[in-house]
Amino acid sequence: MIQSPSLQTTLPNRVEAGRRLVEPLFKYANRPDVIILALPRGGVPVAYEVATALNVRLDLMLVRKLGVPSHPEFAMGAIASGGIQILNDDTLRVHPIDRASFDAVVARETQELSRREQLYRGNRPALQLKDQVVILIDDGLATGSSMMAAVHAVRVQSPARIVVAVPVAPLETVEALRSEVNEVICPLIPEWMMSIGYWYLDFAQTSDEEVIDLMHQAWQREAASGCTTEPPDA
């Protein structure tokens, strides 16, 4: 018999999940060298709450999971903006696929990544992350492939510090990320992880419209306060 998570460990929704990340990240509040990068789509409402509470910049890190063709829920890797691609060797050992099938998945997800980049960011300038403190936020992690691709995409720009902050993730994923970044914040680390949505009462899909609305609100707030997505001394 599978036990449901208790109300003490269940996350009500993505908004509340974001609020639970504020306190452990409060040392980064009001700093012009800090930028939060949300992983769309589900990471955006989480990151919006954190960026608003900390009064720091918010932008997007576009990533796409590469799902196994026969089992799309299993990540065989991920891609991120800037041509970053990583593979999940454990998944590929269990679910080996031929080159043509793999390339087809990469092509499809690359097209979707480009669509989202244009839809969400439009003609905004490319991210400038050199010497910045970058906080990557998603609504939760399973294998961590997408977040690892995001980390690699950020690292090539030589940031001062990379922080990963997520509401829920399995221990093995958290430990793998701790060896790749400066800090990992994860308030809920279950002993077992069926899925991210299992730990939420409301895990409805985040729409493109919600992403666009929240990002425009964040960018309007930054413009009104004199902040930009460029480094303070750029």
pLDDT digits (tens, 9 = 90+) for 146-201: 999 999 999 999 999 999 999 999 999 999 999 999 999 999 999 888 789 999 99
Distances (CA, A) of 55 to 99, 148, 207, 214, 226: 46, 26, 24, 15, 12
DSSP codes of every residue in the chain: -PPPPPTTT-B--HHHHHHHHHGGGGGGTT-TTEEEEE-TTTHHHHHHHHHHHHT-EEEE--EEEEEETTEEEEEEEEEETTTEEEE-HHHHHHS---HHHHHHHHHHHHHHHHHHHHHHHTTPPPP--TT-EEEEE-S--SS-HHHHHHHHHHHTT--SEEEEE-SB--HHHHHHHHTTSSEEE-SB--SS-S-SGGGBS--PPPPHHHHHHHHHHHHHHHHHHT--SS-TT-
Average pLDDT of span 100-116: 94
Q: pLDDT over 70 for what percent of the chain?
A: 93
Q: Is the pLDDT of residue 208 over 70?
A: yes
Q: Is the pLDDT of residue 220 over 90?
A: yes
Residue 227: predicted pLDDT: 62
Q: Is the pLDDT of residue 6 over 70?
A: no
pLDDT digits (tens, 9 = 90+) for 176-185: 999 999 999 9
Residue 193: predicted pLDDT: 82
Q: Is the pLDDT of residue 232 over 80?
A: no
Residue 60: predicted pLDDT: 97
pLDDT digits (tens, 9 = 90+) for 23-79: 999 999 999 999 999 999 999 999 999 999 999 999 999 999 899 998 887 889 899
- Amino acid at residue number 227: C
Average pLDDT of span 88-102: 87
Higher pLDDT: 49 or 89? It is: 49
Residue 229: predicted pLDDT: 46
Averaged pLDDT score across all residues of the chain? 90
pLDDT-based confidence at 231, cuts 50/70/90?
Answer: very low
Q: Is the pLDDT of residue 233 over 50?
A: no
Residue 2: predicted pLDDT: 35
Q: Is the pLDDT of residue 3 over 70?
A: no
Q: What angle do CA 43, 49, 51 make, to 5 degrees?
A: 90
Residue 8: predicted pLDDT: 53
Instruction: Return d(Cα 200, Cα 212) in angstroms, integer.
Output: 23
